[in-house]
Amino acid sequence: MAFTPTALNLPHHPFRITEKEEQYFIFDEVRKKHLVLTPEEWVRQHFIHYLIKDKKFPKSLIQIEGGLSLNQLQKRTDIVIFNTSGERIMVIECKAPSIKISQSVFDQAARYNSIHKARWLVVTNGLKHCYAHINHASSQFLFVEELPEYGLL
C-alpha cells in the first residue's frame, strides 16, 4: 500500500515517514515519537513545521493534543501555543484536507477556545487557513490574511 500525500498550501518539509504492517507513521519532532499518519496528522505536522520554521514559534511553547473539559465532556485541542509567561495565546484546530472550513468547523474551534481564552484562533485543513485575532472583552473577531511571526503576536 503506497502513501500518496495530499499536496497542501503549506511549505514542504522532509518528514520522516515509515511503514509498518501496511500502516504509515510520521515522526513528530515536538513530541519525539512516531504517530499514525492520518490525513489530519499530515496537516497538523505541516502546520507545526510552518509555525516553527517560517513563523519562528519556539518548539518548547507548542502543546499538541492537550485535553480540555467542555460542557462536562473531555475534548482535545489540536495545538495550543503559549507565551513565555505560560499563558495560552493561540488555539489551532487542524482538519483533514477533505473537510471544508465551514462556519460549524470554526464554531467548534471557538467553543474550545472559550475554555482557553487565547487571543488567536486558527483553523486549517492544510489547503485553507483561517486566522482570527480575538478581543475577548468585546467578543469580536478580527480576521487577518497572514499569521504574524511569534514575536509580533
| Residue 95 in domain | yes
Domain total in the chain: 1
| Residue 33 in domain | no
| Residue 7 in domain | no
CA angle 92, 95, 98 (to 5 degrees): 155
* Residue matched to cell numbers 513545521: 49
- What range defines the domain where residue 97 resides? 39-67+75-152
| Residue 30 in domain | no
Give the CATH number of the domain where residue 111 resides: 3.90.1570.30
| Residue 26 in domain | no
pTM listed for this prediction: 0.91
| Residue 4 in domain | no
Q: Report pLDDT digits (tens) over 10-34.
A: 998 999 999 999 899 999 999 999 9
- Residue 50 predicted with pLDDT over 90: yes
Q: Alpha-carbon distance 51 to 102, whole Å?
A: 23
| Residue 148 in domain | yes
pLDDT of residue 76: 76
| Residue 112 in domain | yes
The distance of Cα 79 from the centroid of its chain, to the nearest Å, equals 4
Cβ-based neighbours of 104, under 8 Å, separated by 6 or more: none
Angstrom CA distances, 151 to 6, 57, 83, 123, stand at 31, 8, 10, 20
Q: Report pLDDT digits (tens) over 95-152.
A: 999 999 999 999 988 888 888 899 999 999 999 999 999 998 898 999 999 999 999 9
pLDDT of residue 101: 96
3-state secondary structure of 53: helix
Tell me the one-letter amino acid at 16. R
